[in-house]
A = this chain, B = another copy of it.
Amino acid sequence: MNNFNFYSPTYFVFGKGKENETGKYVKRFGGTRVLIHYGSGSVMKSGLLDRVKKSLTESDIWFTELGGVVPNPRSGLVYEGIEICKHENIDFVLAVGGGSVIDSAKAIALGALYDGDFWDFYTGKQYVKKALPVGTILTLTAAGSEGSSGSVITHENGMLKRATGGDAMRPAFSILNPELTCSLPPYQTACGATDMMAHVMERYFTNTRNVEITDRLCEGILLTVINEAPKALTNPDDYEARANLMWAGMVAHNDTCGVGRDSDWSSHQMEHELSGLYDVAHGAGLAVMFPAWMKYVMHHDLNRFAQFAVRVWGCEMDFQNPEKTAIQGIQRYEQFVSSLGMPIRFSQLGAKAVDIPTLVKSMGLGKNTLGSFVKLTSEDVTKIYQLAV
């Protein structure tokens, strides 16, 4: 096991109707002038935004608002939000939405306390040290941004999708009401489940040895998603399934299950290029990229893939031929995400083989490599994209 630091100070408030307590928590974490950040009109139509505003008003908290976050959130709105923060002396950013809204809110909170271009943090020119406190009211179980230290933004200049992170970006509080996710369309529910699983699997496939505790926690989260996601698709109003998925999504990405081990993230990076170019849903892109990556790297550690097959997918271990078991596990994963309605090939996603050189070039690997389980060159990345066609 590697040495590590772990710090997850977010105050989680979980359950029905908890968004009505927003004002109390904003106050507890020092907010007096709030920027409410959200996406499309759905939080207006559902009445959620009104309930949140009512709660702030009842706590005598001043607020202004900025809507319009889109999936794969863009830099333009972040610049706009930072401007509002500086102009209005905002001291708290409140995200009402899913991962895109929260990531955008984190970027705004970061940029509000920085004199330069917020994009510096996403290109590695600057390290995250401080940010305004962020609160979240989660409406979509997927990204885990409600408990994570990370944020992913797409810059409109070149459609580059890049990530940054740091302890200062962990939300101060996150309100998780599973009821708010019951209105999600099946496709978004499935994308969320796939994203959660990917967060776990990026950590699971590691070269770090002797990580039984985090292996077991990872497997527990995957087993939960496998059990609960189909229920949420069959019956969208299944509160209990939504609740299990909601906590699983948080634990999948706040790093409880990822500490002390190298993690990979190359499937995420390859997906980022895909959704940067085609603007496809992140979960859908992951459903396409993960099996391709697995097939390409499997032989690097067959036993780990066999463990995945046996413990997560209930496959029988083929002791004569562990490769068979490993392949079976990958197939079971493909079958599962496919059964959720996810694409598993480029064509289903609307991606084109002819664009592969563009995708690889946009990643800008040069002579560097991607990932840690297997260090991938640009040539490897090209082959993995080809496997996904």
Is A2 an interface residue when CB atoms closer than 8 A count as contact?
yes
- Residue of B5, B14, B220, B244 near A13 (CB, 8 A) is B5
Cβ–Cβ contact A256 & B260, under 8 A: no
A1, A18, A256: which has the most chain B beta carbons within 10 Å?
A1
* Interface bits A232-265 vs B (CB < 8 Å: 1, else 0): 0000000011011001100100001001100000
Contacting residues, chain B, for A244 (C-beta < 8 A) = 1, 210-213
1/0 per residue, CB under 8 A from B, across A70-86: the answer is: 00000000000000000
In the bound complex, CA of A220 to CA of B311 (Å)? 11
For the complex, give the distance between the alpha carbons of A217 and B224 in Å: 9
Whether B14 lies near A217 (C-beta < 8 A) is no
Contact: B212 with A224, CB < 8 Å? yes
Q: How far is the CA of A221 from the CA of B14 in the complex (A)?
A: 23
Q: Which of A30-87 contact B (CB under 8 A)?
A: none
* Least distance between A5 CB and chain B CB atoms (Å): 5
Decide if B247 touches A259 in the complex (CB within 8 Å): yes
Residues A251 and B240 in contact in the complex (CB < 8 Å), given A15-B2, A15-B3, A227-B212: no
- Bound-state CA distance A15–B220 (Å) is 25
What's the minimum C-beta distance from A177 to chain B, rounded to whole angstroms? 9
A14 touching B9 in the complex, CB below 8 Å, given contacts A209-B240, A214-B247: no
A247→B257 CA distance, assembly (Å): 10
Query: A1-22: contact bitstring with B at CB < 8 Å (1 yes, 0 no)?
Result: 1111111111111111010000
Question: Given A1-B244, A14-B3, A16-B3, is A213 in contact with B209 using a C-beta cutoff of 8 Å?
Answer: no
Quick one: closest B residue to A173, CB to CB?
A: B7
Q: Give min CB distance, A251 to chain B, whole Å.
A: 7
Per the 8 Å Cβ criterion, residues 100-130 of A in contact with B are none
Least Cβ distance of A368 to chain B in Å? 27
User: Which residue of B is nearest A210, CB measured?
Assistant: B240
Tell me, in angstroms, the Cα distance from A7 to B260 when the chains sit together. 22
**For the complex, is A216 an interface residue (Cβ under 8 Å from B)?**
yes
Is A228 an interface residue when CB atoms closer than 8 A count as contact? Answer: yes
CA distance A8 to B217 in the complex (A): 18
Least CB separation from A170: chain B residue: B9
Residues of B within 8 A of A240 (CB): 1, 209-210
What does the 1/0 interface line of A287-315 toward B look like (CB < 8 Å)? 00000000000000000000000000000
Considering only CB atoms, which chain B residue lies closest to A177 in the complex?
A: B3
A222 CB to nearest chain B CB (Å): 9
Interface: A219 (CB within 8 A) = yes
Q: Would B224 and A213 count as touching, CB distance under 8 A?
A: yes
Q: How far is the CB of A247 from chain B (nearest CB, A)?
A: 5
- Pairs A–B under 8 Å by Cβ, sample size 7: A3-B14, A4-B15, A5-B14, A9-B11, A213-B220, A216-B220, A256-B256
| A3-B15, A6-B11 known, 9 other contacts, Cβ within 8 Å | A4-B12, A5-B14, A6-B12, A210-B240, A213-B244, A213-B251, A216-B220, A247-B259, A251-B256
